[in-house]
């Protein structure tokens, strides 16, 4: 991170289902070498209701807190943005030296890149946003579902996305053509969950039923 403003990666290498990590460095002065975020916004679930949270150089550290599903956005001094979509996880923030704050977003489900200032989007990221868009109206009708999603955790929500997406792909040639190679990756992810996270996969199926989404 000495020359980067942020980096996204999977860890540990070689694991059947590695965690996703997004690291960002908030510095007192921009380096002008990569992308210099000054703040990060993300969703949290407190008291059974989602709200937007912000971390910047004034945030007290060390700090660890849970973040919810939705968008993570890194913003620099010129309001340039790099964004990600996540199923939830844990955030740790700590001071690095006298002039920088390190943020580590970590999740057992993917953290996917959206189109931004310094990155290309992951092909399936927009599909995840669309899936979240289908969830939100159901939370208006049944607010307890928001807490249900939070309690089930990131892997169950990810499994619900995979199951629902696979069903939609099977019933739509247009969607299958639009997603393209990602269909194989969805199938691969479902096989991996069946082999290594069967409890989360079952929870995802139940979550689809609770949200009245096809699985």
Give the tens place of pLDDT for each residue, 66-80.
999 999 999 999 999
At 21-79, the pLDDT tens digits run 999 999 999 988 889 999 999 999 876 678 999 999 999 999 999 999 999 999 999 99
Lowest mean pLDDT among 53-57, 64-68, 115-119, 122-126: 115-119
Please indicate whether residue 197 or residue 119 has the higher confidence score (pLDDT): 197
Tally of helices (H runs) and strands (E runs) in the chain: 6, 10
pLDDT value of position 33: 85
- At 9, phi and psi to the nearest 5? -160, 170
Give CA–CA dist 212/135, Å, rounded: 9
Question: Which of 103-107, 177-181, 183-187 reaches the highest mean pLDDT?
Answer: 103-107
What order do you get walking across the sheet with 81-86 strand by strand?
49-56, 37-46, 70-76, 81-86, 111-113
Place of tokens 């040639």: 173
Tokens of 9: 């990666």
Percent of the chain with pLDDT over 90: 72
**So where are the chain's domains?**
6-113, 125-210
pLDDT value of position 77: 93
Percent of the chain with pLDDT over 70: 96
81 pLDDT higher than 90: yes
When pLDDT is cut at 50, 70 and 90, the band that residue 180 belongs to is: low
Per the prediction, the chain carries an average pLDDT of 91
When pLDDT is cut at 50, 70 and 90, the band that residue 176 belongs to is: low
pLDDT value of position 203: 97
pLDDT value of position 170: 81
154 pLDDT higher than 80: yes
Lowest mean pLDDT among 8-17, 36-45, 87-96, 164-173: 164-173
Please indicate whether residue 119 or residue 172 has the higher confidence score (pLDDT): 119
pLDDT value of position 2: 79
Any long-range contacts for 168-173 (C-beta under 8 Å, 24+ apart)? 168/214
């Amino acid at each position: 991170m000495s020359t980067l403003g942020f980096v996204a990666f999977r860890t540990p290498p070689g694991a059947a289902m590695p965690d996703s990590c997004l690291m960002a460095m908030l510095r007192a002065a921009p380096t002008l070498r990569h992308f210099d975020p000054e703040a990060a916004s993300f969703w949290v679930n407190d008291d059974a209701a989602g709200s937007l949270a912000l971390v910047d150089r004034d945030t007290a550290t060390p700090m660890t807190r849970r973040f919810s599903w939705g968008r993570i956005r890194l913003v620099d001094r010129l309001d340039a943005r790099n964004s990600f979509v996540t199923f939830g996880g844990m955030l740790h923030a700590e001071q690095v030296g006298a002039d920088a704050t390190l943020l580590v977003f970590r999740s057992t489900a993917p953290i996917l890149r959206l189109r931004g200032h310094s990155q290309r989007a992951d092909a399936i990221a927009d599909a995840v946003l669309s899936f979240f868009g289908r969830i939100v109206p159901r939370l208006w009708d049944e607010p307890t579902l928001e807490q249900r999603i939070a309690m089930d955790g990131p892997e169950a929500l990810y499994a619900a996305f995979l199951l629902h997406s696979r069903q939609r792909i099977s019933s739509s040639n247009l969607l299958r053509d639009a997603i393209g190679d990602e269909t194989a990756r969805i199938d691969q992810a479902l096989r991996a969950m069946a082999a290594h996270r069967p409890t989360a996969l079952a929870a995802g199926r139940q979550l689809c039923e609770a949200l009245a989404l096809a699985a």
